[in-house]
Structure 1
Amino acid sequence: MPKPPQGALKPPKAVFDGIYAFAPNRETLGGTAYLIVEKFGNVLIDCPPWHEVNQEFINSCGGVRWLIITHRGAIAKVDLIQKALSCDVSIQEQEAYLLPGLNVVSFQKEQFLHEDLKVIWTPGHSPGSACLYYRHRGFSGAQPKGGILFTGRHLLPNSNGELAIIRNSKTFHWLRQINSVHLLLKEFNSEVLSYICPGGNIGFLRGQLSIDRAYERLLELDLATKS
């Protein structure tokens, strides 16, 4: 197990009850990974900095059943993570070739891991970019109202802390990325989608670890792309 670089020993922070955000990972260009702790199986979303501190934290939470990769840029030490945690790795089929020799469960358009857990293909940022939807039943007791969308780098906060589609030199297909916002709007509504946890640019949220009014912000973003 490699030693963490100096300054990387910050413990994961609680975003909500049972959901934690890891410190940005230099190997994924500052990407933020998350851990969902659930009775039906813990879920690791993207690759956190892989060292003994994070591994011990994950083990203290009961390990991991699934590692979800939201895009090719979030891949880092997946082989070591899978070996240490004995977890399944989920990735969209167009990017599965980037993980040769590993136990990978690929999908085409969507993948249900549980009735409260669904991976959705949202191409554009990369060919296999995907989002994970998690229905967090703790928001309103036994009857869920709202949920969380982990967006990887499909949707990120901009420098003003606003939800945005960010185009850069590595963007795979800009129009497909815009169309993927339309897809999410059709998939959800304001009753089932409350928060967004982006996979990068967390510093622009100025101390926050999630974006509220998620569906409303998706609508605003959709209108902005049409103007």
Structure 2
Amino acid sequence: MSQSTTRLSKPPHQLLEGLFAFSPNRDTLGGTAYLIVEETGNILVDCPLWDEQTQGFLEQQGGVRSLFITHRGALSSSLKLLQTSLKCEIIIQEQEAYLLPELTVTSFAQEIALGSNLTGIWTPGHSPGSSCVYWNHHGGILFTGRHLLPDNQGKLTPLRLAKTFHWFRQVHSVAKLCDRFTPETLAYVCPGANTGFLRGKGLINDAYQQLSALDLEQLRQTPIGL
């Protein structure tokens, strides 16, 4: 365990069958990590706060086969310890892989199969290697990191921030997701931050309807936020 950790994290919250959300991690600026429980091996999406409780929970669930990093802001200072403890593969888009020179990682370009039911998708814009994970269970769930987030009303949207790498690429990535999915294949979004705006729901319902309702041309004119 990290010696800097003095308080145990809260237990993960079960959102749906086989899907758990961890409490926001102060080590990743309030990022939310998720555990997807699969027969072929569990997938951790981004880094939860690493402590005894987190490790014990993951071991109880059968361990972690792969840790998928959605963007550079989700890289925890405990990442090396996490990989050593769980003996898991780290998957990250190739334009962010250089940030982990001391770790063994699997990088990808456009897409990567994480199993028969899971796909990693490159969605650049928020950061060069920003990526999403799609799980085809429960009507389809997209784990969006900070590519798509709830606004202060809980509505799904990309947010243009001072640290946004390339806003137009991000909007283009949103358009590609609109083209890729349908109401039948995308029911939920699990965002990688701002989950407090979901007011206890834990995930965004009617995900495709909200995604397809975005005015992409208006978004392109969005000024930079904080």
- Pairwise same-fold verdict (TM > 0.5): yes
Greater alpha carbon shift after TM alignment, 186-195 vs 41-50: 186-195
Q: Which residue of 2 aligns with 1:152?
A: 145
User: Deviations along 1:125-148, whole A, 9 cap, x unmatched?
Assistant: 000000000011xx3xxxxxx210
> For 1:178, which of 171, 179, 186 is the aligned residue?
171
CA root-mean-square deviation: 1.4
* Cα separation, 1, equivalents of 2:103 and 2:91: 11
Question: Is the 8 Å Cα contact of residues 2 and 52 (structure 1) preserved in structure 2?
Answer: no
Distance 2:162 2:22 in 1: 26
Show the counterpart of 1:94: 95
Using the alignment, how far apart are the partners of 1:110 and 1:157 within structure 2? 24
Contact 1:156 1:200 in 2 (8 A): yes
Runs of 4+ off more than 6 Å: none
Query: Does structure 1 residue 14 correspond to structure 2 residue 11?
Result: no
CA deviation vs aligned residue, 1:55-88 (integer Å, no higher than 9, x gap): 0000000000000000000000211111001111
- Amino acid paired to 2:75: I
Task: Give the one of 171, 174, 190 matched to 2:183.
Answer: 190
Structure 2: gaps spanning 5 or more residues: 222-226
Whichever residue aligns with residue 113 of structure 1, its letter is L
**Matching of residues 74-153 of structure 1 within 5 Å:** 74-76=74-76, 77-136=78-137, 139=138, 146-153=139-146
**Paired residues of 2:33 and 2:48 also in contact (CA < 8 A):** yes
Q: CA deviation at 1:226?
A: 6.7
Q: 1:216 to 1:226 in 2, by over 3 A?
A: farther
| Within-5 A mapping of 1:202-217 | 202-217=195-210
Matching residue of 2:65: 65
Task: Determine if contact 1:181/1:222 at 8 Å carries over to the other structure.
Answer: no
Asked if structure 2 preserves the Cα contact closer than 8 Å seen for 1:182 and 1:222, the reply is: no
Contact 2:9 2:49 survives alignment (8 Å): no
- 1:51 matches 2:55: no
In the superposition, the TM-score normalised over structure 2's length comes to: 0.93
Counterpart CA distance in 2 for 1:41 and 1:66 is 8
- State the partner residue of 2:156: 163
